Chain A
Amino acid sequence: MTSLLKNSELSIEKADKIVSETLNSCDDGELYIEDTKSETIVLDDNKIKSSNYTSDLGYGFRAVTGDTVAYSHSNEISEKSLKNSSDNLKSTLKNNSGTYNSEIKKTNQKLYKDIDPIESKSMKSKIELLNNMNEYARSKDSSVKQVTASLLAEKKNIEIIRSGGELLSDNRPLVRINMSVMVEKNGRKETGVYGIGGRQDYDEYLKNDNWKKVCDEAFRIANTNIESKPSPAGEMKVVLGPGWPAILIHEAVGHGLEGDFNRKKTSAFHDLVGKKVASKGVTIIDDGTIDNRRGSLNIDDEGTPTERTVLIEDGILKNFMQDRLNARLMNTKSTGNGRRESYKHVVMPRMRNTIMLGGTNTQEQMIKSVDKGIFAVSFGGGQVDITSGKFVFNCTEAYEIINGKVGAPIKGATLIGDGPSSLKEILMVGNDMMLDPGIGTCGKAGQGVPVGVGQPSLLINNMTVGGTQL
């Protein structure tokens, strides 16, 4: 019945036998097989710069006992190779013995279609689209000096074989359309970047000339930044726009609520379950079940169905995000957050779509209430130090707020804060909850996985803004 082993030298029966025999004396583990096809086409400097197609097939064999994980992966799919891996796992775990937990929840969840987004659009029409995007963006203004546009599509099919022969599978499509525009005016250069995507065919995202909106937005951001003035430095009030700025939530609290850091007691949140960690009215969830979203999965990379996990409810810390290993060691259940970048990587608790739910205030109310502060509309990357709780992120579009009014755009500001305390500094939660456009990739321990974020507009009482203007 398995399709991924179909053309290999390894039969499903042999694989089953080796898996069961290896994992019988362990607490947990599985054979994870992955077949990924991906295609990237980049237009840069007026030319199709590259078209790359990648086909990757391999397995990762994992055995877990107590808190020790043995992992062996290879892209040679054969009985000999799998036996070598099995020997390797056994030698790591030789002094430990466990009881295999064969319990795993079943699901019929179908959050996206089993499609191949690479094949469903011809190469010719993809090249034509990139050329159109390039021409359209350049035609917007003579100040547009450089354009980079790219199309990325992936079809990742996974299979998980557990001890006892249980087989779980998921077929995951993913696309992303990106645009970067550089504008040069009066000797200044600024860029604007925008993108869209998710787990549907390209055409779903290209309806109604939607690609033009992607170009418009990238140009608008670059053009805004050309007029920007130096950012102020120091502590002040910050209004965050809805949608993508929720990477603040992802960095400030998301990572700190992942099971591994809390099991190891290295997260600033590890002893705060049941306690107030955020202002009243703040509810944060991690949801793997939203149709077609970039961070959604039918099952996670251990085979557990994803779910909507409430992390913080009305300010109170409720749950951590768990994979099977950390859940077992913390006497709880996996929340379906066990993820890995590929068969080459070990499973860790990772976020899916991390969202702060909407409140009652309007963005206008927030801005009106600020005498001196900044209004941050879009961000580049962020980063967090789990242990100290400090996080940063970089504004790619922000404005000063003076006396309750949005003023001039400011450039290159970095915001830095302390995760646990900044959540308590939230003064207003907006009624305009929005999800991001489907572009996020989260990095942890060298592994990147697609994620989503969402939030309403927020007013934060006090954050440190890093600029050059004292």
Chain B
Amino acid sequence: MIKDQDYLKKIADICLSKSKKLGSTDASILVQSSVSENINVRNKKLDGSERSENLGVVLTTYLGKKKSSIASSNLKESNLKELVDRCIETMKITPEDEYNSLPDKDLHFSGLKDLDLYDETHLSNEDKINYIKEAEDEAFSNNKIVNTNGSGFGENKSNFLLANSNGFSDGYKTSQFTAYCEVVSKSNGSMERDYEYTSKRFYNDILKPKELGSIAADHAVKKLNPKKIKSEKISLIFDKRISKNFLSIFASAISSSAIAKGTTFLKDKLNQKVFNTEININDRGDIKKANGSRYFDSEGIGIINLDLIKNGILQDYLIDTYNGKKINRKSNGRASGTTNLYFENGSKTFSELIKSEKKLLYIKETIGHGTNIINGDYSVGASGIMIENGEFSYPVSEITIAGNLNNIFQNITLADDLEFNYSTNSPTMHVEGMIVGGK
């Protein structure tokens, strides 16, 4: 069972009062409790079960502009006191940093908590096993699926309390139900794997097992017997599961920490055209039941909605208290990053998009870590499907795609098929003229 708010509060109080007693001028504390249960199935047979109970505390103490942190999962009172001691001792000898402080009191969250982020539904292990076996059954009904890499179902419940010495003290429960199915297809000596994944706060919102299995099988079969193509300049279509990655890159490039240090290609681009005029990007924390929704960030600051890109123009950064001070801006509640980040729909249908050029390469998977936030260089491994005259023709693999994000962002056209499946979501994306490395 996850611990209730009273239990978490008791631990928070022990740490806060102990650190005050030892001379800290300010302190903040996070106490978290979570229970997760995961079931793994492989080839329709139970492969494993995992149950985890986690309890942990993170304490940050301040002495004026000096700061230090400790974290622990050992919540015995004697151990906690020892750790607070240690935290205070370290704090005293850490140099001052003029930007260190608790968040602005006026920005603390205070309001209704009505976003529906917790589903108390509990599935027995049997129910979990049945769900995921049904998904694998469906995948195996495709005769090219010969094996699975494992499929799983997870249920996670957590509760937390965030408190600081300025009087903030709040927390709430969240839940997450997750299922994935990863299958292996085989034909004519070619072996490929692919997956489908679903994750929602409410059990009723996740994909039905049959859909999960059939989508995974379909993905894996479509990759069979790929060709390698010649190096060329070609326009790409990014599948929704990849196009959303560009939003994550964008988010790290406008984090106040990167802006303050100058380690981003989007430094000094505020109020400038970063994308073409068709593009709008929003970050909204108040969508009911959504994966990225939250009431306040990891400093207790209330979430406000941000229109980050309007008609291609950069309107705002993602700001926390510390880095906000460095760039003379107030926090906008993004110490824990983005919430529900998405591109607004474009004006073309998916079918119009894939018919927009005679030859297009549809990218379904990228591998590697080839994004350089500092200068915008982008180069990753990829696989996908060639589109000729608007029709999917043959799978392609062992290629690289490369470009610079400054150009890529200007050359994006979006379809009108946005769905809120993850916390970061994008419609299908067309990017003109990228360099593919192949034969």
List chain A positions with a Cβ less than 8 A from chain B.
44-45, 47-58, 67-76, 81, 85, 88, 91-92, 123-124, 127, 145-146, 182, 184, 188-191, 231, 233-235, 264-266, 268, 344, 346, 380-388, 390-394, 411-414, 416-418, 464-470
Q: Which of B80-123 contact A (CB under 8 A)?
A: 83, 86-87, 90, 93-95, 97, 99
Given A53-B90, A67-B45, A466-B379, 14 more contacts at CB 8 Å? A47-B97, A52-B71, A54-B71, A55-B83, A58-B73, A73-B50, A75-B55, A85-B51, A123-B93, A265-B147, A412-B402, A414-B368, A414-B370, A468-B403
Q: Determine if B368 and A73 form an interchain contact, defined as CB atoms under 8 angstroms apart.
A: no
Q: Determine if A468 and B47 form an interchain contact, defined as CB atoms under 8 angstroms apart.
A: no
Is B231 an interface residue, CB under 8 A from the partner?
A: yes
Q: Determine if B46 and A53 form an interchain contact, defined as CB atoms under 8 angstroms apart.
A: no
Interface string of B183-195 (1 = CB under 8 A from A): 0100000011100
Given contact pairs A234-B439, A265-B147, A470 touches B231 in the complex (Cβ within 8 A): yes
**Shortest distance from the beta carbon of A121 to any chain B beta carbon, whole Å:** 13
**Shortest distance from the beta carbon of A119 to any chain B beta carbon, whole Å:** 11
Given contact pairs A53-B71, A53-B87, A265-B147, A394 touches B368 in the complex (Cβ within 8 A): yes
Interface string of B23-43 (1 = CB under 8 A from A): 000000000000000000010
Q: Determine if B55 and A50 form an interchain contact, defined as CB atoms under 8 angstroms apart.
A: no
A–B complex contacts, Cβ < 8 Å, 25 sampled: A51-B68, A52-B70, A53-B86, A55-B71, A56-B73, A58-B73, A68-B45, A72-B52, A76-B53, A85-B51, A189-B375, A264-B150, A265-B147, A266-B184, A380-B370, A388-B193, A388-B383, A390-B397, A391-B367, A392-B400, A412-B372, A414-B379, A416-B398, A465-B400, A470-B232
> B51 — which chain A residues lie within 8 A by C-beta?
71-73, 85, 88
**Shortest distance from the beta carbon of B236 to any chain A beta carbon, whole Å:** 13
Bound-complex Cα distance A390 to B398 (A): 7
Q: Determine if B367 and A385 form an interchain contact, defined as CB atoms under 8 angstroms apart.
A: yes
Query: Quick one: which of A146, A189, A382, A417 has the most chain B CB within 10 A?
Result: A189
Is B437 an interface residue, CB under 8 A from the partner?
A: yes
Bound-complex Cα distance A71 to B383 (A): 35
> B233 — which chain A residues lie within 8 A by C-beta?
470
Is B399 an interface residue, CB under 8 A from the partner?
A: yes
Stretch at the interface among B167-175, B202-210, B255-263, B277-285: B255-263
Is B74 an interface residue, CB under 8 A from the partner?
A: yes
> B438 — which chain A residues lie within 8 A by C-beta?
234-235, 464
Q: Determine if B437 and A75 form an interchain contact, defined as CB atoms under 8 angstroms apart.
A: no
**Shortest distance from the beta carbon of B194 to any chain A beta carbon, whole Å:** 9
Is B69 an interface residue, CB under 8 A from the partner?
A: yes
Q: Determine if A388 and B192 form an interchain contact, defined as CB atoms under 8 angstroms apart.
A: yes
Bound-complex Cα distance A75 to B31 (A): 14
Bound-complex Cα distance A169 to B401 (A): 48
Q: Determine if B402 and A233 form an interchain contact, defined as CB atoms under 8 angstroms apart.
A: yes
Is B54 an interface residue, CB under 8 A from the partner?
A: yes
Q: Which of B381-439 contact A (CB under 8 A)?
A: 381, 383, 397-404, 435-439
Bound-complex Cα distance A201 to B48 (A): 39
Q: Determine if A380 and B55 form an interchain contact, defined as CB atoms under 8 angstroms apart.
A: no
Given contact pairs A67-B47, A190-B374, A464-B398, A57 touches B73 in the complex (Cβ within 8 A): yes
> A231 — which chain B residues lie within 8 A by C-beta?
379, 402
Given contact pairs A52-B71, A55-B79, A189 touches B93 in the complex (Cβ within 8 A): no
Q: Determine if A413 and B379 form an interchain contact, defined as CB atoms under 8 angstroms apart.
A: yes
Bound-complex Cα distance A255 to B69 (A): 36
Q: Determine if A55 and B397 form an interchain contact, defined as CB atoms under 8 angstroms apart.
A: no
Is B56 an interface residue, CB under 8 A from the partner?
A: yes
Q: How many A-B residue pairs have CB under 8 A?
A: 244
**Shortest distance from the beta carbon of A404 to any chain B beta carbon, whole Å:** 23
**Shortest distance from the beta carbon of B313 to any chain A beta carbon, whole Å:** 22
Query: Quick one: which of B75, B87, B367 has the most chain A CB within 10 A?
Result: B367
Bound-complex Cα distance A146 to B262 (A): 8
Which chain B residue has the least Cβ–Cβ distance from A188? Answer: B375
Q: Determine if B367 and A146 form an interchain contact, defined as CB atoms under 8 angstroms apart.
A: no
Q: Determine if A234 and B377 form an interchain contact, defined as CB atoms under 8 angstroms apart.
A: no
> A58 — which chain B residues lie within 8 A by C-beta?
73
Range class of the B interface residue count:
35 or more
**Shortest distance from the beta carbon of A9 to any chain B beta carbon, whole Å:** 9
Q: Determine if B435 and A417 form an interchain contact, defined as CB atoms under 8 angstroms apart.
A: no
Q: Determine if A72 and B375 form an interchain contact, defined as CB atoms under 8 angstroms apart.
A: no
Q: Determine if A56 and B402 form an interchain contact, defined as CB atoms under 8 angstroms apart.
A: no
Given contact pairs A68-B46, A71-B48, A464-B399, A412 touches B73 in the complex (Cβ within 8 A): no
Bound-complex Cα distance A189 to B263 (A): 8
Which chain B residue has the least Cβ–Cβ distance from A261? Answer: B149
Which chain A residue has the least Cβ–Cβ distance from B74? Answer: A57
Cross-chain contact of B368 among A72, A88, A265, A382 (Cβ < 8 A)? A382
Q: Determine if B70 and A466 form an interchain contact, defined as CB atoms under 8 angstroms apart.
A: no
Is B380 an interface residue, CB under 8 A from the partner?
A: yes
Cross-chain contact of A394 among B149, B369, B383 (Cβ < 8 A)? B369
> B403 — which chain A residues lie within 8 A by C-beta?
468
**Shortest distance from the beta carbon of A159 to any chain B beta carbon, whole Å:** 15
Bound-complex Cα distance A216 to B54 (A): 42
Q: Determine if A55 and B369 form an interchain contact, defined as CB atoms under 8 angstroms apart.
A: no
Q: Determine if A416 and B381 form an interchain contact, defined as CB atoms under 8 angstroms apart.
A: yes
Cross-chain contact of A411 among B83, B99, B231, B377 (Cβ < 8 A)? B377
* Top 5 A-B residue pairs of the complex, sorted by shortest distance between their CB atoms: A466-B400, A392-B381, A233-B437, A392-B368, A69-B48
Q: Determine if B53 and A75 form an interchain contact, defined as CB atoms under 8 angstroms apart.
A: yes
Query: Quick one: which of B45, B374, B398, B403 has the most chain A CB within 10 A?
Result: B398
> A344 — which chain B residues lie within 8 A by C-beta?
52, 54
Q: Determine if A124 and B402 form an interchain contact, defined as CB atoms under 8 angstroms apart.
A: no
Given contact pairs A390-B398, A468-B402, A75 touches B74 in the complex (Cβ within 8 A): yes
Given contact pairs A75-B54, A188-B375, A54 touches B70 in the complex (Cβ within 8 A): yes
Q: Determine if A70 and B48 form an interchain contact, defined as CB atoms under 8 angstroms apart.
A: yes
Query: Quick one: which of A49, A54, A266 has the most chain B CB within 10 A?
Result: A266
Is B125 an interface residue, CB under 8 A from the partner?
A: yes
Q: Determine if A418 and B398 form an interchain contact, defined as CB atoms under 8 angstroms apart.
A: yes
Which chain A residue has the least Cβ–Cβ distance from B43? Answer: A264
> B50 — which chain A residues lie within 8 A by C-beta?
70-73, 346
Q: Determine if A49 and B70 form an interchain contact, defined as CB atoms under 8 angstroms apart.
A: no
> B83 — which chain A residues lie within 8 A by C-beta?
53, 55
Interface string of B53-76 (1 = CB under 8 A from A): 111100000000001111111110
Is B141 an interface residue, CB under 8 A from the partner?
A: no
Q: Which of B140-182 contact A (CB under 8 A)?
A: 147, 149-150
> B260 — which chain A residues lie within 8 A by C-beta?
45
Which chain A residue has the least Cβ–Cβ distance from B56? Answer: A75
Given contact pairs A71-B49, A470-B232, A390 touches B74 in the complex (Cβ within 8 A): no
Q: Determine if A387 and B379 form an interchain contact, defined as CB atoms under 8 angstroms apart.
A: no
Given contact pairs A73-B53, A124-B93, A464-B399, A470 touches B435 in the complex (Cβ within 8 A): yes
Bound-complex Cα distance A417 to B149 (A): 22
> B326 — which chain A residues lie within 8 A by C-beta?
45
Bound-complex Cα distance A464 to B367 (A): 14
Q: Determine if B374 and A466 form an interchain contact, defined as CB atoms under 8 angstroms apart.
A: no
Bound-complex Cα distance A206 to B83 (A): 28
**Shortest distance from the beta carbon of A419 to any chain B beta carbon, whole Å:** 11
Bound-complex Cα distance A58 to B75 (A): 11
Query: Quick one: which of A56, A391, A392, A465 has the most chain B CB within 10 A?
Result: A392
Which chain B residue has the least Cβ–Cβ distance from A393? Answer: B368
> B69 — which chain A residues lie within 8 A by C-beta?
50-53
Given contact pairs A75-B74, A414-B402, A234 touches B379 in the complex (Cβ within 8 A): no
Bound-complex Cα distance A58 to B54 (A): 9
Given contact pairs A92-B46, A383-B367, A418-B398, A390 touches B261 in the complex (Cβ within 8 A): no
Bound-complex Cα distance A92 to B125 (A): 8
Which chain B residue has the least Cβ–Cβ distance from A45? Answer: B261
